[in-house]
Amino acid sequence: MKNACKHLALCTLTLILCLALAACGSDDSGDYTDYGNDSNVPSTIDGFVKESYDSYDYSAFEGYYLPDSGTDFDYLIIDTNGSRWRIGSNDDLAASGYLQYDADYDCIYAYNEHDGVAYQFSVDGSSVNIYSLGSFTYEMSLDEFDAQAEDYNSSDSSVDLSYLAGIWYLDGDLDADSYIYIDSSGGLWSLYERAPGAETTEVDGGFISAPTDVDDVYYAVSTTYQDVTYEFTLFDTDSIVWGGENDYYERLE
């Protein structure tokens, strides 16, 4: 009788352990998507680390993309070497970062410098999808896009804008997360921004046009994004009010 009880107890314990192990193995916490064969690939990864050496060829993804139905943004641009990307709406940069292949999951991720999250990147013919950000269809190469941007260049090179040259910092703070560089001619500009925990990167740029009928008002025409122009006002010698949100920048260099 004792042996029978011991045998029953051992069987019961074995069953409990098996159930516990099965429960651990079937943990479905987090957001996962089936990705080929029998593996599960996370749709998003927090704390994604950029590899110092990445031999994956992303150049096939280069181009200017327009949103598919249901996508909330206006465009996706993937740079010439295919490694950097950016998404925006009108003159707002909504997301940007780099592409990176993850060998552990056999999957490409689009790391977003704005929120520190990597999103699964997939391709279907001429369309690409960045998980939760939307789907976009290839429209043209960046060479074609740049050629079109040149058509918007209506600036008059005879106008002296050199007095705009310098580095203009958001809210007059040298440690600001945003600054505007205007070259010595005053005709070319670049906008730099820094996401939390990331390096400062150029997010937009182009040329400056000065209307002849309005004093102290200028147009910063983007050659990075199609149909994007920022209006800014020279508030005083070293202060400008920039864009639709009237951001204040002060020249400190």
Q: How far lies 11's CA from each of 2, 5, 15, 22, in Å?
A: 14, 10, 6, 17
Q: Which domains does the chain have, with CATH numbers?
A: 29-142 (2.40.128), 159-251 (2.40.128)
pLDDT at position 217 = 84
Distance (Å, rounded) from C-alpha 194 to C-alpha 114? 9
pLDDT at position 128 = 95
pLDDT at position 122 = 94
pLDDT at position 200 = 78
pLDDT at position 158 = 57
- Mean pLDDT per block of 10 residues along the chain (253 residues) reads 43 38 34 44 87 83 90 86 79 83 92 91 94 93 70 52 88 88 85 80 84 74 81 86 84 87
pLDDT at position 12 = 43
Q: What is the reported pTM?
A: 0.51
Distance (Å, rounded) from C-alpha 172 to C-alpha 241? 12
pLDDT at position 3 = 46
Distance (Å, rounded) from C-alpha 109 to C-alpha 130? 8
